[in-house]
């Protein structure tokens, strides 16, 4: 159906069968978190996932009939932080792994059917806790990691494409944010961009590095626009689509905001997903398939039956986002949360899928409808 604002709205949820039959189990609660991270990618004719497990993390591979755990990198990953944000190309993958007081960088290459480490992991001990970290690679091949610490936003950059050596961290925030604010990093056609929430100042902010750090951009300010929920999709010509949550928390008002930065650097903000007494939208992500932008988010229920994952869709070239309430369609007996998708556009020759999980470590798969 179409909303009054012209946005195509899909009624989307895990089926009852899928909800009662996870595609795999990890042994770690909520394995598909964190909010700005991506744990899914397509390469070598199949889908892959990088998920936490007790004592480390593991790669999983999707076959036509099932997901199977892989031994690729397993001994290397044992003992490292477990929550991964993954960057992937045809032959290479890299991830930033995060836990409370340290982050690690791992890089591998696909060789004769397996991912093989390209170097020893680089571990960065932190002198104060962080909530999450994300990874990007610029047009010159350098790696960039962004993370929050002590109410400020920090970026580390590698000295070259190997990722073996790194520069000292640089603060990109201009003033302290709130304790639970976070950031996310993305590649741009000619540089790197970092977006973060600042609930102390009631702002969403963005900063670009090309040959130097440019002044901080204000994405939006006021009316409780900021919250610590970010997920980024990079479209054609460097257009950014950032799915976020606000802190408005009012009934019959939009709870989520799509923030779009065009190729000229202009921001527009599109509220969507109305909060109701029955359902609360949260944890949005953005993924691109063809010329379509998919916006997915959790819908929390205040009483049984459990919550589900909702999906809205719009053309990337003419964004139209409505604020109508999301129809309630239930996935089955188990609640799912923390949907995750790929950083890069969906493949043309494979199903378009996303993953989500529950608090028992079980991972579920759903296929997105092609327009």
* pLDDT beyond 50 at 81: yes
Q: Which of 18-22, 34-38, 60-64, 204-208 shows the lowest mean pLDDT across its residues?
A: 18-22
**Polymer length in residues for the chain:** 371
Q: Is residue 1, in this structure, part of any structural domain at all?
A: no
Instruction: Give the integer Cα–Cα distance in Å for 27 and 358.
Output: 11
Q: What is the pLDDT of residue 306?
A: 75
Residue 3 maps to a domain: no
Give the largest CA-CA distance in the chain. Answer: 55
The predicted pLDDT at position 51 comes to 98
**pLDDT over threshold 60, residue 132:** yes
pLDDT, mean of residues 131-156: 97
- Cα 283 from Cα 308, distance rounded (Å): 12
Quote the tokens at residue 298: 């959790």
What are the pLDDT digits (tens) for 295-313? Answer: 999 999 877 767 788 999 9
Q: Would residue 292 count as lying in a domain?
A: yes
pLDDT score at 304:
74
Domain containing 337: what range? 8-367
Is the residue at 70 inside a domain? yes
> pLDDT tens, 191-245?
999 999 999 999 999 999 999 999 999 999 999 999 999 999 999 889 999 999 9
Please give the tally of structural domains in the chain.
Answer: 1
- Distances in Å between the Cα of 358 and the Cα atoms of 37, 53, 81, 342, 366 are 17, 14, 20, 19, 14
Look over the chain and give the mean of its residue pLDDT values, rounded to a whole number. 91
Residue 9 has pLDDT above 50, yes or no: no
**CA neighbours closer than 13 Å in the CB half-sphere of residue 234:** 22
What's the pLDDT score for residue 331?
56
Q: What is the pLDDT of residues 153-167, one digit of tens each?
A: 999 999 999 999 999
CATH number of the domain to which 246 belongs: 2.130.10
Decide if 141 is inside a domain: yes
Q: In what order do the strands lie in the sheet with 337-340?
A: 24-25, 362-367, 353-357, 337-340
Alpha-carbon span 15 to 336, nearest angstrom: 11
């Amino acid at each position: 159906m179409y909303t009054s604002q012209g946005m195509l709205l899909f009624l989307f949820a895990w089926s009852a069968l899928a909800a009662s039959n996870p595609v795999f189990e990890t042994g770690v609660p909520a394995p598909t978190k964190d909010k700005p991270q991506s744990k899914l990618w397509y390469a070598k004719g199949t889908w892959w996932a990088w998920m936490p497990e007790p004592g480390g993390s593991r790669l999983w591979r999707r076959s036509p009939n099932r997901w199977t755990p892989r031994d690729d990198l397993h001994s290397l990953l044992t003992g490292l932080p477990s929550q991964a944000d993954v960057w992937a190309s045809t032959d290479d993958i890299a991830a930033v792994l995060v836990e409370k007081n340290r982050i690690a960088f791992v890089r591998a290459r696909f060789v004769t059917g397996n991912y093989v480490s390209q170097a020893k992991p680089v571990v960065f001990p932190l002198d104060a806790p962080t909530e999450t970290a994300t990874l990007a690679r610029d047009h010159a091949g350098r790696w960039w990691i962004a993370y929050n610490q002590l109410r400020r936003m920090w970026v580390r950059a590698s000295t070259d494409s190997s990722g073996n050596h790194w520069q000292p961290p640089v603060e990109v925030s201009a003033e302290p944010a709130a304790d639970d604010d976070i950031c996310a990093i993305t590649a741009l056609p000619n540089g790197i961009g970092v977006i973060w929430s600042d609930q102390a100042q009631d702002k969403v902010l963005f900063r670009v590095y090309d040959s130097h750090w440019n002044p901080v951009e204000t994405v939006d300010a006021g009316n409780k626009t900021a919250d610590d929920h970010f997920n980024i999709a990079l479209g054609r010509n460097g257009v950014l689509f950032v799915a976020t949550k606000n802190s408005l928390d009012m009934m019959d008002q939009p709870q989520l905001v799509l923030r779009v930065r065009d190729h000229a650097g202009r921001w527009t903000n599109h509220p969507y997903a109305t909060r109701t007494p029955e359902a609360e939208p949260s944890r949005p992500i953005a993924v691109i398939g063809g010329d379509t932008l998919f916006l997915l988010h959790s819908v929390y229920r205040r009483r049984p039956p459990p919550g589900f994952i909702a999906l809205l869709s719009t053309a990337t070239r003419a964004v139209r986002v409505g604020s109508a309430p999301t129809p309630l369609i239930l996935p089955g007996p188990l609640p799912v949360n923390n949907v995750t998708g790929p950083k890069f556009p969906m493949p043309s020759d494979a199903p378009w899928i996303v993953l989500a999980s529950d608090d028992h470590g079980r991972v579920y798969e759903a296929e997105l409808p092609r327009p």
